[in-house]
Amino acid sequence: MTEKKSAPIGVFDSGVGGLTVMREISRQLPCENIIYFGDTARVPYGSKSQNNVIRFSEQIIRFLQTKQVKAIVIACNTASALALESVQERFAVPIIGVVIPGARAAVEVTQNRKVGVVGTDATVQSGMYTKVIHKMAPDIVVLEKACPLFVPLVEEGFKEHVVTEEVIEYYLDSLRNTEIDAMILGCTHYPLLRSKIRAFMGDKIQIVNPAYETAMDLKKLLKQQGIENDGAAGECKRYEFYVSDAAEKFRKFANTVMPFDVPTTNVVNIEEY
């Protein structure tokens, strides 16, 4: 059991956005060892068919299993929506996604039953958050808004630039003038803009960060199964990073997100799995 406790958690995403989920897991579960995989060769997943997203997810899970992971987090909204149920049925390792924790948190915090969701074009067109929220609470009104420029602004290092504030205003002005009292950041890149989004939307709206909610769900899962790392085995905070392409570009971006230095990133031929 000690060996199981010190086994790593696998986290994967279609690219770099899932680093916000890994960052939150490292904050909330500071003793856990984590292996991150970014599918940078095949990003974005939003334009891919469900069959392909399931196939990609299965390949990555098989790779992570070679690292003896004890649990897996799908840190990608598209893969969480399109592949989670399929891979949960197929693999014995516990697997969770980011959509359900984010949706549940919004259902819990909304007072007036009106929730906003911001995400990529693919996420908004799929209506995934609306579907999940309505399964939990059919009476809630959900307004989804695509904000496609947020991702390139983050990835090009424009988080603090005035142009980002202008784009936030352009996209979110219509949502600010509605009655929503909770808003889900429905893309893993968006927490990196959280302070600017909060400043624009104002204090009356609760900002829901699915990365944080997912980390808390993972914490509960590990505790329930008795496999949380308590540090007794002395193996803590081992972090490994793997990608399917462009390792150096990924590493540089990771160093702007993670609260520690990312010295190396390894390339994996994921099609072999």
pLDDT tens by residue, the chain, 273 residues: 667 889 999 999 999 999 999 999 999 999 999 999 999 999 888 888 899 999 999 999 999 999 999 999 999 998 998 899 999 999 999 999 999 999 999 999 999 999 999 998 888 888 999 999 999 999 999 999 999 999 889 988 898 899 999 999 999 999 998 999 999 999 999 999 999 999 999 989 999 999 999 999 999 999 999 999 987 766 778 999 999 999 999 999 999 999 999 989 999 999 999
Strand 206-208 versus strand 239-243 pairing type:
unpaired
Q: For position 123, what pLDDT does the model report?
A: 86
Which residues have a catalytic role annotated?
76, 187
Q: For position 234, what pLDDT does the model report?
A: 66
Widest pairwise Cα distance in the chain: 53
Selection from 223, 200, 196, 265 nearest residue 40 by Cα: 265
Distance CA 212, CA 20 (A): 9
Distance CA 134, CA 225 (A): 29
Cα dist from 5 to 2, 22, 214, 226, 237, whole Å: 5, 18, 19, 8, 13
Neighbouring CB atoms inside 10 A of 5's CB total 20
Find tokens 């400043």 and name the residue: 199
Instruction: Decide: pTM greater than 0.75.
Output: yes
Q: For position 1, what pLDDT does the model report?
A: 60
Distance CA 208, CA 158 (A): 22
Find tokens 């956005």 and name the residue: 17
Q: For position 236, what pLDDT does the model report?
A: 74
